[in-house]
Structure 1
Amino acid sequence: MRYVQRAEYGVPPATSVDDGDPLFVQAIARAMQVLSAFHDTGKPLTLNEIAAQSGMGRSAAQRVVHTLRQLGYIERDADDRGYVPGIRVLDHTRDYLRLNPLVVRASPVLMELRRNVRERVDLSLRDGLRLVYAARLQSKRETFFATLVGQSVPIYCTSGGRAVMAHLSDAEVDEIIARSDRREITPKTITDPEEIRAKVREARENGYALALEEILQGEIAIAAALLAPDGTPLGAIHIAGSLSEWDAETYCRRFAPLVAEAAGALNRF
């Protein structure tokens, strides 16, 4: 099985977004770049690796790392092999989740849906070319990476992403396709632009989107979009199961009405 561990689909580096803005603070941007260096790694990072990943000199990286370490946002790993994010990063995750009104409203809806479907239920929020999981309610079979809040997936090849794109114009869909790094995450990942457009049209017609083994081999996922009052798609609710237990037709028949009902309950606010 192959998991998506990258966290930066379509996210510009902090150093590229100031564009001469007089209120933009480069020192804060550098600190964010250092923290972002850990997105792609599966191990502690040395100071040289942090400098390379964050695109700054070793001396500048050393000062930023020292400051963040003093504040508790970076620490040495238990075996002293390098640096890892510090525990205080979790404080900000908690703040985001408890102060996001959509996440707060969705919580009881997701728990009721999980009781009904007995499969994994996720809430994702759109961020550029990716969806970021803000809530994950587990099923009887899970892996570590499938449990992580903050995990992200690209829009172009996911059930939630296509549910989102179904509520965008054709021009906006084309822009997402053109800007996406359309690589094969699994052998079943759809990367051809016209095939992606066809899946989006299918989602518009059905009111939900389906993806088979495009992010994780053996997984089937169905999703419905979460909408702002003006119809702007904000994210999606997903139900994920195993193809060892379900075929696509039975899965849709069983879960499409439930995921649509859950999304509809939130979209009425």
Structure 2
Amino acid sequence: MSTLVKSADRTLAILDLLTEHRDGLTLTEVQRRLEFPKSSTYVLLMTMTARGFLEQDPDTRRFRIGIRLWQAGQSYVAINDLEKVALPYMETLRDTLNETVQLATLDGTDNVYIAKVDPDHHLRLASRVGVRLPAYATGIGKALLSQLDEDDLRDRFADTEFVRYTPQTVTSLPELLAAVRQARTHGYAIDNCEYTPGVFCVAAPLNGLRATTRAAISVSIPEVRKTPELIRRTIDTLCSTAHQLSLRLGYRDGAAPTTRRD
């Protein structure tokens, strides 16, 4: 960590914090949450505001993400294009199964949701685009991790503290490696109430993207609607959709995916 530039690291920490607080935070709230010196926090906030990366409400004095950060985000064409290309496939998958379908990419050890389509059930998954979750605790995360080699996995999670969100959560690196190997073998990953109690998820990786971009799609099923027949249909339909979308993204292996449900 000695190679980090302190002011740059603090700037990025502020952006991370305000990304999670859409209503904004005051100078004091930012300083207390990040435990930075108040004087340097003020200077960083005002500099970022002057450059348009933050904006400050004149009445509440709260700082929020600014227009320049949004503009910078729009330059990430790979994710923007991926969402546009994937959405019709996601909608067809949703229409076929009538369950929540999500699209996510991998960022470090987290999966970040970039698109979602909801079913017409009253009981549905309460999630939103932009949320990041630990990849070890979700089905879509394990599908994303299945695209990495084991050396990369070990390096990424070497210092990770595995939090137990439910009794089913993966809580160690060996356990995660085993789950990822299983996902590679089967062609899909499963999250059996590992992050959200009462939610079963099946996820499949996408191919055809540039080497630095990892993506996957998932289907989430409430426990009350889960049946062996629905799980079987979900696995088959999801894997077929993931393969079709991968071909659309430029994947050149025309062989249809084979899946195992043992």
TM-score, scaled to structure 2: 0.77
Is the contact made by 1:189 and 1:214 (CA closer than 8 Å) also made in structure 2?
yes
| Aligned: 1:75 with 2:56 | yes
Q: How does 1:85-96 map to 2 (within 5 A)?
A: 85-86=64-65, 88=67, 96=76
SS at match of 1:50: helix
Partner residue of 2:31 out of 33, 37, 51: 51
1:151 maps to 131
Matched, 1:189 2:161: no
Q: Which residue of 2 aligns with 1:128?
A: 108
Among candidates 252, 255, 264, match of residue 231 of structure 2: 252
**Larger relative contact order (C-alpha < 8 A, sep ≥ 6)?**
1
Offset at 1:137? 1.0
Deviation at 1:111? 1.6
Residues 1:242 and 1:172: Cα distance change in structure 2 (over 3 Å): same
| 1:1-269 matches, cutoff 5 A | 19=3, 30-38=10-18, 45-54=25-34, 56-69=36-49, 71=52, 73-76=54-57, 80=60, 83-86=62-65, 88=67, 96=76, 100-139=80-119, 140=121, 141-142=123-124, 146=127, 148-228=128-208, 234-247=214-227, 249-268=228-247, 269=250
Report the Cα distance in structure 1 between the residues aligned to 2:212 and 2:46, rounded to whole angstroms. Answer: 42
Distance (whole Å) between structure 1 residues aligned to residue 237 and residue 21 of structure 2 = 37
Distance across 1 between alignment mates of 2:172 and 2:58: 42
1:223·1:239 contact (CA, 8 Å) conserved in 2?
yes
User: Which deviations, in whole Å up to 9, do the C-alpha atoms of 1:116-170 show, x marking residues without a partner?
Assistant: 12111000001111110000112333465x1x21101111121112212323323
- SS in structure 1 of the partner of residue 56 of structure 2: strand
Deviation at 1:188, TM superposition (A): 2.2
Larger mean Cα displacement after TM superposition, 85-94 or 186-195: 85-94
TM-score, normalised relative to structure 1? 0.75
RMSD in angstroms over aligned alpha carbons? Answer: 3.2
Q: Secondary structure at the match of 2:195?
A: coil
Q: Describe the superposition over 1:40-59 as per-residue Cα deviations: whole angstroms up to 9, x where unpaired.
A: 66975331331244454212
Alpha carbons 1:44, 1:83 under 8 Å: kept: yes
Stretch of structure 1 that moved more, 200-209 or 89-98 = 89-98
Displacement, 1:171? 2.6
Select between 104-113 and 161-170 the one with higher mean Cα deviation.
Answer: 161-170
Q: Percent identity?
A: 23
Give the letter aligned to residue 46 of structure 1.
Answer: T
Give unmatched runs, 5+ long, in structure 1. 1-15
Q: Distance in 1 between matches of 2:17 and 2:39?
A: 16
Q: How many residues align?
A: 244
* In 2, Cα distance between equivalents of 1:230 and 1:87: 29
